[in-house]
Structure 1
Amino acid sequence: MIAKLKGRLDSTGLDHAIIDVGGVGYLVGASSRTLAALGTVGEAVTIHTEMLVAADSIRLVGFARAEERDWYRLLTHVQGVGSRVALAILSALEPLELHRAVAMGDKAMIARANGVGPKLAQRIVNELKDKIGTAPAGSPLDTGGIAILPTGSFAADALSALQNLGFKPHEASVAVSAAQADLGDDATLDALVRLALRKAAK
């Protein structure tokens, strides 16, 4: 199983990138959102991957962030959602937006993706609404999008700040968790609050 590639961005296409790892070029399918996040050709990149093994082929699908890969796995377990449709959904919606759409039953938002009609969007909502709380620990999807934040930490202080500004606990925790995932554990309180506010306001 290939779970992550770290190398140099060799080239990109409409729906894929080639990552040069030690002289070996890995063809990786990806959403437009991931392709945009990879940067320019020649730069160092790290990409999370999912390996798809079929009777006649082995393919890699890549993601700029681990939570995008987590959502890909959830989506492809829904009947009628293959790799292409899952990537179309992840091209149209960020993981945080997708989480909100599923949690709120907003099938219209999911149907914005190419190849997703109202019936399939409704099925995605129905099948994932009870599953989003079982996403891998450590991602903003964990515990249904409500992150477990240690008291006394900057993350906990940022969560309190957003709630004081009128955001609901669920919205605040998802935004802070996503901000911390982007900024890392060394983020300052000010940076966390600013980024979490931008994410919560989307």
Structure 2
Amino acid sequence: MIAKLRGLLDETGADWAVIDVQGVGYLVHCSSKTLSALGMVGEACTLFTDLQVSENDMRLLGFASADERDWFRLLTTVQGVGSKMALAVLSALSLSELRDACGSGDAATVARAQGVGPKLAGRIVNELKDKAGALPGGGSLGGGVALPRGGASADAVSALQNLGFKPLVAANAVAAAIAELGEGAAEGDVIRVALRRAAG
């Protein structure tokens, strides 16, 4: 599977770009946010990709970050959300807005995306509510505590999930632990405090 492209931006359209990788042009469908992050035609760029294959179509989707790609994959697990709809959501909302909306059950925010009605928006937030906290978004969760991306925080969230805590509970507990200990805290200390928070 094609996981990443690095080359020159050859051409762009309303929802696609062509990336020239050593003379081979890849047509990649993207959100508007990803398109705006690619730069000018002729400039070097990198896209994280997801290849979708169906009976009568093969489509390469491109994302400015691996985080956006993870959210795309999560969105397309929801019944009624195909690749075009997922890109529309990612075009309308930042990752932090999307994570906070799913985490708090805010369907109205998700419904801002073109083509997403209230019923589908409700399904998205309901199905993704418990998964939202496990993915990066750079925003806040639940109690409004910012969760730093990557490093000890991501490992701590994963550790709590492995112990049976739901993603949103784990992420909130780790965010609270980091707020208490500071961002430079050791992973073991973060997990210890987060466990106390989650269990309490």
Q: Which residue of structure 2 aligns with residue 7 of structure 1?
A: 7
* Post-superposition CA distance 1:72-119 (Å, at most 9, x none): 000000001011110000000011110011111111100000010111
RMSD: 2.6
* Amino acid in structure 2 at the alignment position of 1:52: Q
Q: What are the equivalent positions in structure 2 for 1:39-118 lying under 5 Å apart?
A: 39-118=39-118
Displacement after TM superposition at 1:140 (Å): 4.6
Unaligned runs of 5+ in 1: 152-168, 177-202
* Amino acid in structure 2 at the alignment position of 1:57: D
Displacement after TM superposition at 1:32 (Å): 0.6
TM-score, length of structure 1 as denominator length: 0.69
SS at match of 1:14: coil
Q: What are the equivalent positions in structure 2 for 1:1-202 lying under 5 Å apart?
A: 1-135=1-135, 139-140=136-137, 146-147=147-148, 150=152
Unaligned runs of 5+ in 2: 154-170, 179-200
* Amino acid in structure 2 at the alignment position of 1:80: G
Sequence identity (%): 58
SS at match of 1:42: coil
* Amino acid in structure 1 at the alignment position of 2:73: R
TM-score, length of structure 2 as denominator length: 0.69
Q: In the alignment, is the contact (CA less than 8 A) between 2:8 and 2:21 conserved in 1?
A: yes
Q: In the alignment, is the contact (CA less than 8 A) between 2:103 and 2:133 conserved in 1?
A: no
SS at match of 1:85: helix
SS at match of 2:2: coil
| Distance in 1 between residues matched to 2:105 and 2:71, nearest whole Å | 16
| Distance in 2 between residues matched to 1:150 and 1:72, nearest whole Å | 24
